[in-house]
Amino acid sequence: MTIPLLTLSHQQPFWKFRTHRVIANTTESTRNLCKSTLYLFLALATPFIAYRCFNSFTMFWSSSSSSSQPATKIDAGSLRRQRINSSKLYQPDASSKVPVIYSSYYDISFLGIEKLHPFDSSKWGRICRFLMSEGYLEKKSIVDPLEASREDLLVVHTEAYLNSLNNSVNVARITEVPPVAMLPNWLVQMKVLYPFRRQVGGTVLAAKLAMDRGWAINVGGGFHHCSGGRGGGFCAYADISLCIHFAFVRLNISRVMIIDLDAHQGNGHEMDFGNDERVYILDMYNPGIYPFDMTARNYINQKVEVVTGTATVDYLDQLDKALAVAGSNFAPELIVYNAGTDILDGDPLGGLKNCPFNDGPGEWRAA
């Protein structure tokens, strides 16, 4: 046994040389693999790093600017009015256009992930394309809204809530699409939250156009499950609450009625205006589906609960009676009508059985 060992010992220089070659080749392969991995990481991470750096610089600049100003304490009401008055959301010129608001940025689409939720996040574009194909609307006559900025959103939302949206896990919970949690937040901001913020701008602008022209439609928006401090049910921003607060300040009104005909209870705006006598809430909803928010139900001025399976005739009869009562109870200067399509028969979420029907020659009604 010792002789072979001695023999191997005599061949040691040769084995060292071969071992060094193997190690050298392995090291070169490993180095190339590491370089490829590094390049891939940089390609994926660079936009995220740039986005985070931009946010950090913006926050630093904001804090530096504010610290250079004399320290003055501003109450919440004054700060809200200041933000509203400095906002640009009322700026789009619609004088030569129909008061229908839409942007192609409304539609949410990314690698099919949006299809994991039954909510149709591309319906807004299809609605406008249908109206244009039928000759009811021209593309050039549609009003294109601005994106709601962080300062705009702070009119209603808390800093803590807006900061929470920088975590993709929180956005995944709000949109109820779990894979969103695994996406880098810069991508979530671009593909999910930016379209939402654009729709918020549309809802805010709709109030101004309605006061100017008598009516206005924001094809998107209606995020009635979101309040100032909490999102949910595919609603990340409280556009209805923002719209009303802007109207109070910029349009000089003091009485707003919310008519919420989405099949789900509008618990977001109910929590925001629960103790505000300037806002009257008529909410017609199915109590057997999400969100089951009993606290928010206490803040509804007039609730009409329609059970699963309610059909068109019964639905419209209850609605007619409710509108008559609301009109006698409250005299609004502005009405915010949240028109949820989930009350229609076949919707996977609403549980109701409404469909258009003919009342008589030449007269159509739709629930």
Catalytic residues: 225
Question: Of all helices (H) and strands (E), which one includes residue 77?
Answer: helix 76-85
What is the spatial distance between Cα 76 and Cα 158, in angstroms, rounded to a whole number?
11
CB 105 within 8 Å of CB 124 = no
Q: Which residue is it, tokens 């930016």?
A: 194
Cis peptide before 291 (omega within 30 of 0): yes
| 343-351: Cβ within 8 A, 24+ apart | 343/261, 343/262, 343/263, 343/315, 343/367, 347/263, 348/118, 349/118, 349/119, 349/263, 349/264, 349/289, 349/290, 350/263, 350/264, 350/286, 350/289, 351/263, 351/286, 351/288, 351/289, 351/308, 351/309
Beta strand 100-101 with 217-218 is parallel
Question: What HEC string does 313-346 produce?
Answer: HHHHHHHHHHHHHHHHHCCCCEEEEECCHHHECC
What is the spatial distance between Cα 255 and Cα 209, in angstroms, rounded to a whole number?
17
